[in-house]
Amino acid sequence: MTAQQKFGFKFGRNGAHSARTMMLAELTELFHGRGVDANAAQYQEDIELFNVLHKPTEKARKLTWRHLVDLYAMDKEVVLFRTFRRLWESDERARALLTCQMALARDPLLRLSQNKIVGLAPGQLLPREEMEQAFEEQFPDRYSPAMLKSLAQNVNGTWTNAGFLQGRSKKHRTEPDIHPVNVAFALFLGYLQGASGNRLFNTEWTKLFGCRLERLLELARQASYSGLLNFKHSSEVVEVTFPDYLTKEEEGWLHE
């Protein structure tokens, strides 16, 4: 297992978006009933035993748990989930985008759709067929037409929930509301993948926002005022650190 996989990143060709969107409603319901220190067994019990998500059958409950683990790990021993769960409590307005950021780190299929979304101009229409084509080009002959349609609908549903698309049958590109919490998480994701200093502001995680550097720096400064990170900026030099995000053992993984 690589260091990035230990942190919670997932790679490969498969992802939960072949079957579901990012399941924001389910996460919101689950987190509402449990504190930030809840463990995986408690979340699983809530879904499978207590049926807090109101699923009609035992099979549906087990499947829901499996998809949530696939997307989010749901285990506070996993760095990405622990950080995501803590940041979730910081700003309710940031949650939809924060959830999308976490799903991007865990679902290779959703990640494949990012360039398509980021490349659209505000207001530009996105026919579902264009998203289908983006997947077909990546994986020729892998998916049936019905599967391509379902996959495109699922990823577009997630991008809509996160504020990047708007509309029901005809979707067009919109600009999401970005909050300091979102920038803090994006910088941390870049940090876990080896970036530091100025390079933290030029990763796939920050490019997602489509912001100018000045705006990102300002949001990072606001995040530091809220205690989400430490941020120093003088002339051309930027320093960002993440106190108490990692254990000593986890910090060692950064150098593997």
Say yes or no: 221 and 167 in one domain.
Answer: no
104 falls within a domain: no
Of the pLDDT bands very low, low, confident and very high (cuts 50, 70, 90), residue 223 is very high
Residue 1 is assigned to a structural domain of this protein: no
- Region 51-70: what's the mean pLDDT? 97
Least confident stretch, 54-58, 109-113, 135-139: 135-139
| 143, part of any domain | yes
Task: Write the pLDDT tens digit of every residue in 11-46.
Answer: 998 999 999 999 999 999 999 999 999 999 999 999
Task: Check whether residue 200 and residue 166 sit in a common domain.
Answer: no
Read off the pLDDT of each residue in 194-221 and give the average, rounded to a whole number. 97
pLDDT-based confidence at residue 100 (cuts at 50, 70, 90): very high
Same domain, 188 and 148: no
Determine, yes or no, domain membership for 139.
Answer: yes
Task: Compute CA distances 68 → 22, 36, 97, whole Å.
Answer: 8, 16, 17
Banded pLDDT at 205 (limits 50, 70, 90): very high
Residue 47's pLDDT is what? 98
In a domain, 5, yes or no: no
- Whether 256 shows a pLDDT value over 90: the answer reads no
In the DSSP assignment, the letter for residue 232 is E
Q: Do 219 and 185 sit in the same domain of this protein?
A: yes
Q: Is residue 106 part of a domain?
A: no
Tell me how crowded residue 141 is: count the other CB atoms within 10 A of its CB.
6
Tell me: do 187 and 164 sit in the same domain.
no
Q: What's the pLDDT at 236?
A: 83
**Domain extent for 186:** 180-253
Report yes or no on 108 lying in a domain: no
CA distance 165 to 171: 6
Write the pLDDT tens digit of every residue in 134-172: 999 998 988 999 999 999 999 999 999 999 999 988 999
Q: Measuring CA to CA, how many Å separate 44 from each of 50, 86, 94, 197?
A: 9, 19, 25, 39
Among the listed ranges 33-37, 116-120, 126-130, 234-238, which one has the minimum average pLDDT value?
A: 234-238
- pLDDT above 90 for 234: no
Q: What is the predicted pLDDT for the residue at 169?
A: 83
Backbone angles phi, psi at 190, to 5 degrees: -65, -40
Identify whether 85 is part of a domain. Answer: yes
> Whole-angstrom distance between the N-terminal and C-terminal Cα of the chain?
11
Indicate the pairing of strand 171-173 with strand 125-126: antiparallel
Partners of 233 in the β-ladder? 238
pLDDT reported for residue 31: 98
Nearest to 192 by CA among 182, 203, 180: 203
Please tell me the pTM assigned to this model.
Answer: 0.97
Residue 235 has pLDDT above 90, yes or no: no
pLDDT band at 56 (very low <50, low <70, confident <90, very high): very high
Measured at the CA of 49, the angle between CA 46 and CA 55, to 5 degrees, comes to 80
**Is pLDDT of 9 > 90?**
yes
Domain boundary among 147, 173, 199: 173
Mean pLDDT of 212-231: 97
Residues 28 and 87 in one domain: yes
Q: What CA–CA distance (Å, rounded) separates 72 from 77?
A: 12
Number of domains comprising the chain? 3
pLDDT of residue 209: 98
